Amino acid sequence: MQTALFLLVATVAGIALGWWGARTIHATIATNCRNELAGLRRNYEDATRDNAALRTQLRQMDSALRKISTVSTETDYGEFLENRKALENVRRQYEALLEKLHQQEQTIQQFRGQLQQRKVELASLKQTLPTPMTLDVLSTTTALTPETKDDLTCIQGINSSLAGKLQALGIMTYRQVAEFTRDDFTQTQRILGLESPPPFEEWVQNARLLFQQKYTQA
């Protein structure tokens, strides 16, 4: 009997640790992907602005070229040579700007491809989110179930008033708090009108510990 109980506790602990580890790895990968996606968006916007500025300069250069190219027949030879030199300088600048514009357009295309790739990777990460931890083994050997109403005030940082508000939202168990994500905490803060954000890591760690202590004891 003791051996079976030990194996049961070890199995539950292994499931809990495996689920927590998978959830943590997934959250880290998703956060890195979002940060990289935000950086690519900023680079894309910067490249787009540079592209627009280059196009403006090209229009100005083109206008200058047309103006310099229309030399009056009454212009003397010396002024003609000066205009010709100015025209060559403008042409060189125009060609350099045109080349830079082409490079910027290629960079923008690369950013677009990278943005699309990161969006696909982020969508794939959301689809591969690990399923919540289940305690089917415990439910067959004990009368307690994971959905039993728990005392949320045992979680560090939650007083009786806050526990009542959470219960009014349907959050009544250690398991629910242990499975919270940062988005869940942000939404809870907004709904409850909390002045400061809840301590995400402390709530999750305390809730997970209390959950394991309550439902692994026999």
The widest CA-to-CA distance across the chain, in whole angstroms, is: 114
For the structural domain made of 136-215, what CATH number should be given? 1.10.150
- Angle between helix axes 182-192 and 200-215 (nearest 10 degrees) is 110
Tokens of 28: 């880290």
Compute and round to an integer the Cα radius of gyration of the chain: 32
- Looking at per-residue pLDDT, the higher value among 187 and 68 belongs to 187
Dihedral (CA of 202, 206, 207, 209) sign:
positive
Note the pLDDT tens digit of each residue in 85-129.
888 888 888 888 888 888 888 888 888 888 877 777 766 665 654
Is domain 2-127 given the CATH code 1.10.3210 in the classification?
Answer: no
Residues 6+ apart with CB under 8 A from 122: 30, 33, 34, 37
The residues spanned by each domain of the chain are 2-127, 136-215
Q: In this prediction, what percent of the chain has a pLDDT beyond 70? A: 82
pTM above 0.75, yes or no: no
> Which residue, 176, 167, 168, is CA-closest to 147?
176
Per the listing, tokens 């295309």 go with: 109
**C-alpha dihedral, 38 to 40 to 43 to 45, nearest 10°:** -70
**Is the model's pLDDT at 171 over the cut of 60?**
yes
Contact criterion met (CB below 8 Å) for 163 and 38 = no
Region 199-203: what's the mean pLDDT? 82
